[in-house]
Amino acid sequence: MVLERIFTPGLAQVAYLIGDPAAGVAAVIDPRRDVDSYIALAQQHGLRITAIFETHVHADFVSGALELADHTGATIYASRIGASEFKHQPLDDGDVINVGKLKVQAFWTPGHTPEHMSYLLTDPVISNKPQALFSGDMLFVGTVGRPDLLGSEATEGLLEQLYDSVYNRLMHLPDDIIVYPGHGAGSACGKNIGDNPSTTIGQEKRFNYAFRFPDREAFREVIMEDMPPAPTYYPYMKRVNKVGPALLRDLPEGGPLDLATLEARMQGGALLIDTRSSLAFGGAHIPGAVFAGLGNNFVNWAGWHAPYERDVILLLDDDSDYAEARTELLRIGIDRVAGYVQGGFDAWVAAGKPVLTLPQISVHALHERLESNNIQVLDVRTEAEWRAGHIPGARQRFAGDIVKASRTNEVFANGLSDLRDAPVAVICASGYRSTVAASVLQGAGHPQVLNVVGGADAWQAAGYPLKRGNS
């Protein structure tokens, strides 16, 4: 048997290739939208992809099932309950699909979503009993999938289903079954996901907190406690994946844009995302740009920023970064990528165009100003991070909520109105999220916003005090 794990950084998403070398056939479980790597991997093993298995209607990335089927002619298999609107073979609990000699059994595990289907894998050469479970977004290392991504009205019912999946389905599986989850550490599809690539049912029974609360009410409370904020693009992804996304060949590729075109497109409503480092953005940036630096955080924060009804233009450190940056945006359904600024920021400066700066402040200078009581600290980490330790006197508002509020011109609403004109130092853990939030505050007209270099990590390393709890 062939079994390959394909991890996508940024999304922290995992797809799997399984295959029978004797029969020369393979299947892919939960492919992302750009599928060339799966095809190449199958070819390396001398396999032809004949089946595609979807665990559920994804919220955090665009499914590559249609794209892969278009390239290979493979059949798409998905839960009947999901009622996907593209061509597929619907599956019910217990259905078995053969991939050569391998047997893939649909194993209904609702809770993250109503339709969620895990897949039990049996290689009869090893045993006639299942050896592995591809658990999608239902079961992760050390945690389970969140039940709150379909809206508050659906959460209560999904919590009930999640409990039943844990205690009436997973709990009865043999301990030695290897679990291959659909996400690793860093995904917002669950809280505190472990970074091990796999686990076992026995390990999760012993160490996963969700298996320690057989009382339904206690289970519900612990599952929802400190749930990380979900990016605003998730509901849009659900709709795209239910209908079926456009094929990549049908999308415009974009390309280099001269400065006149850039200015015209921005005046027409295009969003400019500055993908350089936070320090480069702080040093100088194009007025109207928002920040989402390339790297593991890029796709998440680009998703928070980008409204799907607007074109997106990228400002890059190097023009050669465009292909990868565009691919990352396509993975979350940002299809209206108009191109990138030809020549980057240097071209803008050389043309004598106006620039803005985002002043940076060290933790030492911040400490001195706080003693003089002439600056307010805005902490844009999550509430759980905030409670674990924050600068005394700081205010908390998650960076994503600030970005979301900017779409309706309500950045200073909900308790931040007194910060509109006062000097504000924005802080996160290391400086990335604070630059995201500060770029939005500046774009909303705040005249005295500063970014704390190194964030709370630097503050603590410098030996300055932190306060724990909510106050």
Instruction: Flag whether 424 is in a domain.
Output: yes
Task: Tell me: do 22 and 110 sit in the same domain.
Answer: yes
Residues 6+ apart with CB under 8 A from 151: 235
Task: Tell me: do 11 and 127 sit in the same domain.
Answer: yes
Q: Residue 344 sits in which domain range?
A: 251-350
Task: Tell me: do 367 and 446 sit in the same domain.
Answer: yes
Instruction: Flag whether 245 is in a domain.
Output: no
Last residue of a domain, one of 332, 350, 368: 350
What token pair was written down for 103?
């047997």
Mean pLDDT value of segment 231-255: 95
Residues 6+ apart with CB under 8 A from 155: 147, 148, 224
Of 31, 72, 234, the C-alpha closest to 151 is 234
Residue type present at position 248:
L
User: What is the model's pLDDT at position 437?
Assistant: 96
Kindly report which listed range (101-105, 149-153, 295-299) carries the lowest average pLDDT score: 149-153
The answer to whether 437 and 366 are in contact (CB under 8 A) is: no
Instruction: Flag whether 241 is in a domain.
Output: no
Task: Tell me: do 85 and 126 sit in the same domain.
Answer: yes
Strand blocks (E) in 71-156:
75-79, 89-91, 96-99, 102-108, 117-122, 132-136, 139-140, 143-144
Last residue of a domain, one of 181, 210, 236: 236
User: What is the model's pLDDT at position 322?
Assistant: 98
The DSSP call for residue 236 is H
Task: Tell me: do 319 and 424 sit in the same domain.
Answer: no
Please report, for the domain that includes residue 211, its CATH number: 3.60.15.10
pTM of the model as a whole: 0.94
Instruction: Flag whether 196 is in a domain.
Output: yes
Report how far apart, in Å, the C-alpha atoms of 24 and of each of 45, 76, 104 are. Answer: 8, 18, 16
Give the tens place of pLDDT for each residue, 275-311.
Answer: 999 999 999 999 999 999 999 999 999 999 977 899 9
Mean pLDDT value of segment 232-260: 96
User: What is the model's pLDDT at position 470?
Assistant: 78
Instruction: Flag whether 471 is in a domain.
Output: no
Q: Which long-range contacts (CB under 8 A, 24 or more apart) does 401-405 make?
A: 401/229, 402/437, 402/440, 402/441, 403/232, 403/290, 403/301, 403/304, 403/305, 403/436, 403/437, 403/440, 404/232, 404/304
Give the tens place of pLDDT for each residue, 13-43.
Answer: 999 999 999 999 999 999 999 999 999 999 9
Instruction: Flag whether 469 is in a domain.
Output: no
Residues 6+ apart with CB under 8 A from 168: none
Please report, for the domain that includes residue 342, its CATH number: 3.40.250.10
User: What is the model's pLDDT at position 471?
Assistant: 64
Cβ-count burial 270-283 (b if 16+ within 10 Å, e if not): bbbbbbbbbebbbe
User: What is the model's pLDDT at position 135?
Assistant: 99
Task: Tell me: do 335 and 199 sit in the same domain.
Answer: no
Last residue of a domain, one of 210, 236, 262: 236
Q: Taking each helix axis from N to C terminus, what angle separates 298-305 and 399-406, rounded to the nearest 10 degrees?
A: 30
Instruction: Give the confidence band of 409 by pLDDT, cuts at 50, 70, 90.
Output: confident
pLDDT at 234 over 80: yes
Give the tens place of pLDDT for each residue, 440-449.
Answer: 999 988 889 9
Mean pLDDT value of segment 113-130: 98
Query: How many distinct structural domains can be found in the chain?
Result: 3
Task: Tell me: do 86 and 139 sit in the same domain.
Answer: yes
Provide the residue count of the chain.
471
Instruction: Flag whether 246 is in a domain.
Output: no
Task: Tell me: do 115 and 9 sit in the same domain.
Answer: yes
The DSSP call for residue 183 is B
Give the tens place of pLDDT for each residue, 323-340.
Answer: 999 999 999 999 999 999
Task: Tell me: do 341 and 368 sit in the same domain.
Answer: no
Q: Taking each helix axis from N to C terminus, what angle separates 216-224 and 152-164, rounded to the nearest 10 degrees?
A: 120
The answer to whether 34 and 331 are in contact (CB under 8 A) is: yes
Residues 6+ apart with CB under 8 A from 76: 52, 54, 65, 66, 69, 86, 87, 88, 89
Q: How many CB atoms lie within 10 A of CB 31?
A: 30
Give the tens place of pLDDT for each residue, 366-393.
Answer: 999 999 888 999 999 999 999 999 999 9
Residue type present at position 77:
Y
Task: Tell me: do 146 and 282 sit in the same domain.
Answer: no
Tell me which residue has tokens 């012993």.
206
Of 416, 458, 464, 461, the C-alpha closest to 437 is 416
Instruction: Flag whether 39 is in a domain.
Output: yes
Q: How many CB atoms lie within 10 A of CB 21?
A: 13
Residues 6+ apart with CB under 8 A from 401: 229
Task: Tell me: do 379 and 343 sit in the same domain.
Answer: no
The answer to whether 386 and 393 are in contact (CB under 8 A) is: no
Task: Tell me: do 113 and 184 sit in the same domain.
Answer: yes
**What mean pLDDT value characterizes the chain?**
96
Residues 6+ apart with CB under 8 A from 438: 291, 358, 426, 449, 450, 451
For β-strands 337-341 and 376-379, DSSP reports them as: unpaired
